[in-house]
Amino acid sequence: MGLKVYLLIALAVSCHGLPRTTEDVVPERQTMLLQHTAAFTTMSPTAFISAMTSSGGNEATCRSFADETIKTIEKTVTSTQGEVDAIETGHHCEEQMQDEKQAEKAKIAAARLVVQNAKADVASKTIAKDTAASATYEVTFDLMSTSQPNCLDVSSESSYLAVKNTHDTAIAELEAAMTALTAAETGVTAAEKAFTIVAEEASRLAWGCMCRIHKEQRDAWAEVSTATAAHAADWKSAHEVICALDKTATCTVPSCPTVTQPTLAGNPDYYQKTCIKSNAQAPKFPYY
């Protein structure tokens, strides 16, 4: 961001005021003013005012310098806040492949419904088979016959054949229903496996997205923190210079404006530890 360098250059120009003669713009004089500006936070307010007035300025230009310091810090913090806020925070990362995941979830739900219906069909066919197995049939024979009775063969009896056919059909239908149930359960397993593949890929992409954003935010915040430390010193010195110019007995320095760090999605410590891995080793997101 280069904020500190910009601040020092801007303040150097505003501090000493307009040159009064052509001799005032010699390189040696400009160097001296820049040295005073660089020493702004290391000198006491009275020493700074004395150094600046002896270099060609006066109390008015020193007050202008302090006021400009305050305004520049406020503008810089506002501008920096906008830059920080413009960086992604990662809350969109979990949206990776949402449509694909929802589609696979719908397939799982449909497959489970098929299993549910297949189980109901098996239950129904089992009852039908048991009912057919216990069905009765009629057999006719001559009670008046005096011949010695033999074992009765009913295999050709129409009533028996009707019951047998019903039972055989029930058995075949039950076997078909059980085969359909097995296929339906296999379909659920396949759908769940397909979803796992999609979810893991979405997790990998989300993890990579979060790693990128956490790195960008970490780098940006490191730069902001460095600038903030410099701002605090300049802010304090500027208010103390104004107090010295006003001959204020007690100098109250208001809080220096600071940049607010955005709230990131996920745990920064977690991503700092895991993002050193390759994407192929990306861990699953907690919500999978």
Count the alpha carbons within 13 Å of 159 in the hemisphere toward its beta carbon.
8
Contacts for 23 with CB less than 8 Å, ≥ 6 apart:
29
Q: Are residues 226 and 176 in the same domain?
A: no
Q: Are residues 247 and 188 in the same domain?
A: no
Enclosing domain of residue 56: 3-93+212-281
Q: Are residues 141 and 82 in the same domain?
A: no
Q: Is the dihedral of CA 123, 125, 128, 134 positive or negative?
A: negative
Q: Record the pTM.
A: 0.56
Asked whether residue 286 is domain-assigned, the answer is no
Q: Are residues 10 and 80 in the same domain?
A: yes
- The answer to whether 129 and 121 have CB atoms below 8 angstroms apart is no
How many structural domains is the chain composed of?
2
**What's the CA gap between 112 and 109, in Å, rounded?**
5
pLDDT tens for the chain, 288 residues: list them. Answer: 443 333 443 343 333 333 333 334 334 434 444 455 556 667 788 887 887 777 777 888 888 888 988 999 999 999 999 988 998 888 888 888 889 999 999 999 999 999 999 999 999 999 999 998 888 877 666 556 556 556 666 777 788 889 889 999 999 999 999 999 999 999 999 999 999 999 989 988 888 888 888 888 888 888 888 888 888 888 999 999 999 999 988 999 999 999 998 888 877 777 777 776 554 455 554 433
Asked whether residue 288 is domain-assigned, the answer is no
Asked whether residue 287 is domain-assigned, the answer is no
Q: Are residues 104 and 200 in the same domain?
A: yes
The one-character DSSP state at 107 is H
Which residue from 195, 207, 232 is spatially nearest to 284, judged by alpha carbons? 207
Asked whether residue 131 is domain-assigned, the answer is yes
Instruction: State the CB neighbour count (10 A cutoff) for residue 53.
Output: 13
Contacts 24+ apart (CB under 8 A), 120-127: 121/177, 121/180, 121/181, 122/174, 122/177, 122/178, 122/181, 124/177, 125/170, 125/173, 125/174, 125/176, 125/177, 126/174
Q: Are residues 185 and 273 in the same domain?
A: no
Asked whether residue 7 is domain-assigned, the answer is yes
Asked whether residue 192 is domain-assigned, the answer is yes
Q: Are residues 126 and 265 in the same domain?
A: no
